[in-house]
């Protein structure tokens, strides 16, 4: 009676042979091209983050009369170290594409969206697409706490911008008043100088007349 070997034994031998071919020989292959690290600028180097939260952003499409998603990612309120201006920036989490990019102005207000405590809405002249557009935004957070934190910080920034704007206005008014006072004092000084020059000219004319009279005599 003829016997046959189990097929799985042959399979194990073939796998061992293939494994032997794939064994690490210890040889090192140098890369053909060496890539050096490149410093990437985000444009946020001169700004301090006031808030940094994950959210999903929508914009209202006026033509279609509906909300359209702009992207999911991280929304930040960034304060410039020198000017003190604050802007809102949001990027998509995977592509880092900008979804929103605008200054927080004193006239802006943010409010809860249609009774949803995790969402809020606001109007803004946005520059995310490379041109200024008036947008109505809606942002949705994972929790009520995050939404409240965002709204509180947004409103606080808008109020602070109002104060800075009024202070700048007062300072500008003071400078204008000071300049006007200085201009008036300069005008008075110039008038006095002109008067003095006129008196000197009259005295010189009189002296010349006297000399002419003596010469004719």
- The predicted pLDDT at position 162 comes to 84
Q: Cα separations (Å) of 163 from 76, 88, 177, 187, 204?
A: 22, 19, 21, 36, 61
Q: How far apart are CA 72 and CA 141, in angstroms?
A: 10
Look at residue 213 in the predicted model and tell me its pLDDT: 59
If pLDDT is split at 50, 70 and 90, which confidence band does 43 have? Answer: confident
The answer to pTM > 0.75 is no
Distances (CA, A) of 18 to 11, 13, 15, 23, 194: 11, 9, 5, 9, 109
């Amino acid at each position: 009676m003829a016997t046959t070997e189990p097929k799985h034994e042959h399979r194990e031998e073939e796998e061992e042979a293939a494994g032997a071919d794939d064994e690490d020989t210890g040889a090192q292959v140098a890369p053909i091209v060496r890539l050096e690290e490149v410093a990437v600028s985000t444009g946020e180097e001169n700004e301090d983050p006031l808030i940094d939260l994950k959210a999903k952003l929508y914009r209202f499409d006026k033509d279609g009369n509906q909300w359209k998603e702009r992207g999911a990612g991280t929304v930040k309120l960034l304060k410039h170290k020198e000017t003190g201006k604050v802007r809102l920036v949001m990027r998509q989490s995977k592509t880092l594409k900008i979804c929103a990019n605008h200054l927080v102005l004193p006239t802006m207000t943010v409010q809860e969206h249609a009774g949803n405590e995790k969402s809020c809405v606001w109007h803004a002249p946005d520059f995310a697409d490379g041109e200024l557009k008036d947008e109505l935004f809606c942002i949705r957070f994972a929790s009520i706490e995050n939404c409240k934190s965002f709204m509180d910080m947004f409103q606080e920034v808008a109020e602070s911008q109002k104060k800075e704007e009024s202070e700048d206005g007062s300072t500008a008014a003071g400078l204008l008043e000071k300049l006007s006072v200085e201009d008036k004092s300069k005008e008075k000084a110039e008038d006095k100088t002109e008067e003095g020059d006129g008196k000197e000219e009259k005295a010189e004319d009189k002296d010349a007349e006297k000399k002419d009279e003596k010469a004719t005599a």
